[in-house]
Chain A
Amino acid sequence: MHQFLQQIFSGLAAGAIYASVALALVMIYRATDLVNFAQGEMAMFSTYIAWTLVNAGLPFWAAFLITLAVSFVGGMAIERVLIRPVENAPVLAAVIVTIALLLIFNSTAGWLYSYTVQDFPSPFPDRPVFGALITTRDLGVIAVTLVMLAMLFIFFRFTATGLAMRAAAQNPESARLCGIPVGRMLAIGWGLAAAIGATAGIMVAPVLFLDPNMMGGVLIYAFAGALLGGITSPVGAVVGGLIVGVTENLVGTYLIASQLKLTVAFALIILVLVFKPNGLFGTAIIRRV
């Protein structure tokens, strides 16, 4: 029984990691109608920026805020320079650009920072609690994920910019006619997604350890989580991420061998796409032409 609980709590801790990256995926999808395959690597790269700042002697939270700002600007710059030229091309072109970005960020990080595993400081104390079921550090990750979720929810639901962003993503022409600066909205969307990714990276780096491949596996599980919850829904991303985390542990431990855990994630992606393409919480996007 204790082992069963251990697996569930381990799954929740891992799920919170998937959820935080899934949030960034949802952000960019809501803002630009795109799936960004480089989201994980951008987050990893942001984490290296924070790591450099912390090593230069800055306090953790100062480094954190600077990294968010740099990532926001960097995300906007990527949209302006690399995504904008393929804006009107078929969606495949943008997908390929993001895959190229994935490789570029991964190799550049390896070249700049080497592939050696780095320790990353956690802002939260590291103590096992509740009979060693979970650590305070994992609880911290879960808490930050929930805070990000709340902020995103409020942003999209209650702010004019959030609303304008949704409009710009879903129907650029009409949005433009209503006076929404679509170009700026798309750039802000990329910037925000990069900042959310940076937060995710900084939160998970103390748990996964920082190296250029830190986010490779995470991204696949984050996709599974985002799709399961519904790629348009921040709440869905978090619930989906947590479900994926717990499911892979339980299935891997009790039903099949642990080498098939990744297969579970892919099976989940396919099942959701076939049977419930909008996910648990997602809404169907209806386009009027």
Chain B
Amino acid sequence: MTAKHITAMSLAVAALALGSGLVWAAGQYGPGASDTEIKIGQTMPYSGPASAYGTIGKAEAAYFAMINDKGGVNGRKINLISRDDGYSPPKTVEAVRKLVEEDQVLLTFNVLGTPPNTAVQGYLNDNKVPQLFVASGADKWNDPKKFPWTMGWQPSYRIEARIYGRYILKNFPNAKVAIVYQNDDFGKDYLAGLKEGLGDKAGKMLVATQSYETTDPTIDSQVVALQGSGADTLLVAAIPKFAAQAIRKVADLSWKPNFFMTNVSASVKSVMQPAGFDKSQGIITAGYLKDPNDPQWQNSAEYKDWLEWMKKYYSGGSLADVNNVYGYSAAETLVSVLKASGNNLTRDNIMKQAASIHDLKLPMALPGIVVSTSTTDFAPIKQMQLQKFEGQTWKLFGEVISGSGS
């Protein structure tokens, strides 16, 4: 046996070892993952009271279709199983159990709504199934100690309200603040966040609070009461219909407060335009996504990419609906986590990668806003930027503000 032979043989052995090593590495699969496929699951309110958000699931499916057409993630196709839960938590539990136990999905992604996610959080954590990028603005998804398998995505309502509170405290320290909020977790998070943002002076500065029920036909009476309190600053934490009513009533009353509007109702198309552009001037909100109706983005390459994708993969979707930007951006965040997971598609590694996102830029997020997480920070997006309504669009002003900490 010559030295040449030995070299050749050891090379062959090495190649074999390397080859099997590759095969072995590719075999690092949790349930739902294979050489060809990554199976993920979600529930969405395609029917029922929150069905307006169902378009998010459709947009996400359309985004994965585009990724699959481009060859998938590291050669694997994404298979999204998206089930209707009608925004009803018992149905969510049933559907998610089916996804985990029968369909054997690798993870759940962007399950929509605070009550549905609350209903399955315990189950998913007990079974160590990633509950990734929860589609809810509640603050409670960022709790890695207690729920290491649950992670939020969007800035929470509380973070947003804190940003308003801090801005008011800094720029209008003598303001008399009034808030009207929806009487549920969503509205109450704003009230709590606003108080946190105002800090020690909350007791003195917050002069009036009013709430409304979603069954109320109008919130005119609440707005009248807030004006009567002598407030000069107003925060409206309401869903679009009531937000538009509030804008109009404030104008009808000839009231001119410093007007802050929740990002939930910052849509140019479904709030500002119906309420009237003339009545919406000067309203301040905090945002993190680009509004597809906003002319200032419509010449950007990022918007054009989004538009082309909408036309090709989701032609039934509304180009005016910011939820389609939301779904696009959330799906993109997941794809980036899957890419980073490489060939190690176990549930452990997915969570590890999800918890180590560094300054990921999303094309349809506002400039300067990045996604970042760590083992102690499960709130991927926590920055927002204030914007003021001028003409027919939101004009960004000031710096990107972080709302983390309390």
Contacts and interface: CB of A to CB of B under 8 A. Distances in A.
20 contacts: A2-B228, A6-B227, A6-B253, A10-B218, A14-B217, A115-B52, A116-B240, A116-B321, A117-B240, A119-B273, A132-B254, A135-B252, A207-B218, A209-B241, A213-B241, A221-B217, A248-B221, A249-B221, A259-B211, A259-B213
A259 B221 contact: no
A263 to B, nearest CB: 9
Contact of B47 (A2, A13, A107, A114): A107
B231 to A, nearest CB: 12
A15 B271 CA distance: 24
A132 B149 CA distance: 54
B210 A258 contact: yes
Contacts of A10: 218, 220-221, 224
B211 A7 contact: no
B140 interface: no
Interface string A215-227: 0111011000000
Contacts of A2: 228
Contact of A257 (B211, B220, B254): B211
B217 A218 contact: yes
A221 B47 CA distance: 26
Contacts of B47: 107
B253 A217 contact: no
A108 to B, nearest CB: 12
B218 A208 contact: yes
Interface in B37-63: 47, 49, 51-52
A13 B214 CA distance: 19
Contacts of B216: 217, 261-262
Q: How large is the interface on A (under 10, 10 to 19, 20 to 34, 35 or more residues)?
A: 35 or more
Nearest to B321: A116
Interface residues of B, number: 36
Interface of B: 47, 49, 51-52, 183, 210-218, 220-222, 224-225, 227-228, 240-241, 244-245, 252-254, 269-271, 273-274, 318, 320-321
A181 interface: no
A207 B227 CA distance: 20
Nearest to B243: A117
The 10 closest A-B pairs by CB, nearest first: A115-B52, A3-B228, A119-B274, A217-B215, A249-B221, A117-B270, A6-B224, A10-B220, A217-B217, A218-B217
A110 interface: yes
Interface string A1-42: 011001100110110011000000000000000000000000
B392 to A, nearest CB: 13
A240 to B, nearest CB: 15
B264 to A, nearest CB: 12
A172 interface: no
Given A10-B220, A211-B241, A258-B210, A116 B318 contact: yes
Given A110-B52, A217-B216, 18 more contacts: A3-B224, A6-B227, A6-B228, A7-B225, A14-B217, A14-B220, A110-B51, A115-B52, A116-B320, A119-B273, A132-B254, A135-B252, A208-B245, A249-B221, A253-B225, A258-B210, A261-B216, A262-B216
Interface in A205-248: 207-209, 211, 213-214, 216-218, 220-221, 248
Contacts of B320: 116
Contacts of B212: 258-259
A183 interface: no
A248 B212 CA distance: 12
Contacts of B221: 7, 10-11, 14, 248-249, 252-253, 258, 261
A258 B222 contact: yes
A114 B321 CA distance: 10
A216 B218 contact: no
Contacts of A252: 221
A7 B220 CA distance: 9
Contacts of B269: 116
A116 B220 contact: no
Contacts of A85: none
Contact of B253 (A14, A132, A211): A132
A162 to B, nearest CB: 30
A128 interface: yes
B224 A14 contact: no
A220 B273 contact: no
B271 A14 contact: no
Contacts of A118: 270, 274
Contacts of B244: 117, 209
Q: Of B51, B217, B245, B271, which is in contact with the most chain A CB atoms at under 10 Å from its CB? A: B217
A134 to B, nearest CB: 8
Q: Of B252, B273, B320, B321, which is in contact with the most chain A CB atoms at under 10 Å from its CB? A: B252
Interface in A67-120: 107, 110, 114-119
B236 to A, nearest CB: 14
